[in-house]
Amino acid sequence: MLPEAPDGRTTADYLFQKENIIAELKTMTIDQTEDADRKLTPYVEEWAKKHNQMPEGTSVDGKYVVDIKNMPSEIQEIWVKMLKAQAEDLIRQANRQIRDTKERMSMPTAKGMILIANEANIYHNHPDSYRRLMAEILRKRTQTGDLRFDHIHAGVYFSLGAVTSRDEGMYFWANLQMRRTPDENLTAIVEFQKALQQGWYKYIEEKFGIGVRQHQMT
């Protein structure tokens, strides 16, 4: 783990010298379910008034809920914008910390990786959806065509604490890589992610005494 920079610049959390990888860890510690539902409710009510019926995705087993994946596209678009703003803030912070660390340690060729640990935010309990959201943000470009978050080459979204996957009810680990050019070699970072993943599985097994089953996500 890296110490804070003496000059006050931001610093990433981890340096893996052998692999030439700098990583920053962000942790979700607050469940956004009630807040997200509260923000979406006015849009749901407006849609219901316009169409004289409640939209799909607002009732499960007779109870009022907000199940966004089944809602009309216009409500989904509002939801995605809200989620993007929150996720992009984490990625922006990590990109800056990795950039400053690369400069301070004279490691211009180092690969950057963001680790997002979800320990309390049950709202984001579908790992593939959040991984896709991360990838969409990391693809964003500036007006000149440059990648906006150009110091992040890969990411991992994983859970611990009270959060398990919506479909399997298990702790999850979702990798992603961002290839800058068609011939960019990301083999080293892919192998490093695999090693981290196995270490995480071992930790889960030892801490909670449960076996780990892997589910491939496409």
Per-residue pLDDT for 156 more than 90?
A: yes
Model confidence at 98, pLDDT cuts 50, 70, 90, reads very high
Question: In this structure, is residue 84 part of a structural domain?
Answer: no
* Residue 218: per-residue pLDDT: 47
Number of independent structural domains in the chain? 1
Closest of 8, 217, 23 to residue 117, by C-alpha: 23
**Has residue 128 got a pLDDT over 50?**
yes
Per-residue pLDDT band at 167 (split at 50, 70, 90): confident
The pLDDT value recorded for residue 17 is 92
Quick check: pTM over 0.95?
no
Domain that residue 100 falls in: 14-39+90-207
**Hey, how many other C-beta atoms are within 10 angstroms of the C-beta on 110?**
21
Domain membership flag for residue 61:
no
In a domain, 103, yes or no: yes
Per the CB < 8 A criterion, the answer to whether 91 and 123 are in contact is: no
Residue 102 lies in a domain: yes
Mean pLDDT of 123-131: 88
CA gap 194, 200 in Å, rounded = 10
User: Does residue 127 sit within a domain?
Assistant: yes
* Structural domain includes residue 193: yes
Q: Is 213 among the domain residues? A: no
pLDDT at residue 197, as a whole number? 93
pLDDT in tens, 13-22: 999 999 999 9
181-203 pLDDT, tens digit per residue, is 888 888 999 999 999 999 998 88
Q: Across-strand partners of 141? A: 147
Q: Is residue 30 a part of any domain in this protein?
A: yes
